[in-house]
Structure 1
Amino acid sequence: MSKQLSLEEVIFNDMKKALKGNKKLKLSTLRLIRAAIKNAEISKKDNLTEDEVIGIVANNLKKLEECLDIFTKGQRPELAEKAKKEIEIVKKYLPEQLSEEEVEKIVKETIIKFGFKGPQDIGSAMREIIPQLKGKADGKIVNKMVRDLLDDSKN
């Protein structure tokens, strides 16, 4: 009977494999994630939950995507290519992203369940929705969807 490895353990094991396989880019990317996890554990003074680790990986992904955008705009193709490869590595450690239809379904169900009516309820709606979608959907997309649905409901 084998127990399911935590995301942190999977990252650590893959880091060791990358070290043995001489995969420098993967190793450096995983080291950055592991360092962020360790720093968060030190700040919290306790082990992180699986959701917190996923949040850290998602934050790293967001930072890499911002870097890719900056490198592309700055016409630095070699750095943009490196960022693309790092993004592909990091994405493997995040849960499967929900489709836009699945996200919209969850958003609509939550709005109906809690009876959110208009733009004044956007913050409350986001507080209920984000924990359900943490790591499974982009927060910007969720926010836009909530705003669109609640703005439409006032008409």
Structure 2
Amino acid sequence: MIRDDIKAAQVAAMKAGEKERLAAVRLILAKLKDRDIELRTAKSVPDDDVIVVDVLQKMAKQRRESITMFEQGGRDELAAQEKAELAVIESFLPAMMGPDEVKAAVAAIVAEIGAAGPKDMGRVMAEVKARHAGQIDMSTVSGVVKAALAG
């Protein structure tokens, strides 16, 4: 499980004296703890790996946005710190599907559910998210789905 890998990375970073990596791993664990607390009152709790991947993806997105803003503002030292944290976060994320794999997965889902046009985009997107959550960047999938349904 990904959560176990993160905890092991914390111990390894402590033993190796890697302060920056340890700080980033502790941030991840803190966000996971927050999410666990939020889910205590939830009616249905998703699989643990789904929760962890979701938290990691949100953290990565926040870091990317911060890097862009810091670089535009001329704060290169803060951008470098965010890049270091992003590298740690991405090291725990599962491998993302490449563009060709995404197109193949979308084409298979379109054929399977019999999507005919743009009106079926919501159904296709929901199925892609259900099957490939954590493996596909959903922000790029919408363009692929539009192209698949248009052609």
Instruction: Flag whether TM exceeds 0.5 (same fold).
Output: yes
State the distance in 2 between where 1:51 and 1:26 align: 23
Question: In structure 1, what is the equivalent of residue 89 of structure 2?
Answer: 90
Q: Identity across aligned pairs (percent)?
A: 27
State the distance in 2 between where 1:19 and 1:40 align: 24
SS of structure 2 residue aligned to 1:95: coil
Residue 102 of structure 1 deviates from its aligned partner by 0.5
Matches within 5 A, 1:10-25: 10-25=5-20
State the distance in 2 between where 1:139 and 1:48 align: 19
Matches within 5 A, 1:63-142: 63-142=62-141
1:7 to 2, 10, 20: 2
TM-score, normalising length from structure 1? 0.87
TM-score, normalising length from structure 2? 0.89
SS of structure 1 residue aligned to 2:96: coil
1:38 to 33, 37, 43: 33
State the distance in 1 between where 2:148 and 2:126 align: 16
Structure 2 residue runs without a partner (length 5+) = none
SS of structure 2 residue aligned to 1:92: helix
Q: Which moved more, 1:126-135 or 1:15-24?
A: 15-24
Residue 47 of structure 1 deviates from its aligned partner by 8.9
State the distance in 1 between where 2:16 and 2:38 align: 32
State the distance in 1 between where 2:56 and 2:81 align: 18
Stretches (4+) displaced over 6 A: none
SS of structure 1 residue aligned to 2:92: coil
How many pairs are equivalent? 147
Question: In structure 1, what is the equivalent of residue 146 of structure 2?
Answer: 147
SS of structure 2 residue aligned to 1:117: coil
Residue 19 of structure 1 deviates from its aligned partner by 2.2
Structure 1 residue runs without a partner (length 5+) = 1-5
State the distance in 2 between where 1:119 and 1:49 align: 34
Considering only aligned residues, what root-mean-square deviation do their CA atoms show, in Å? Answer: 1.6
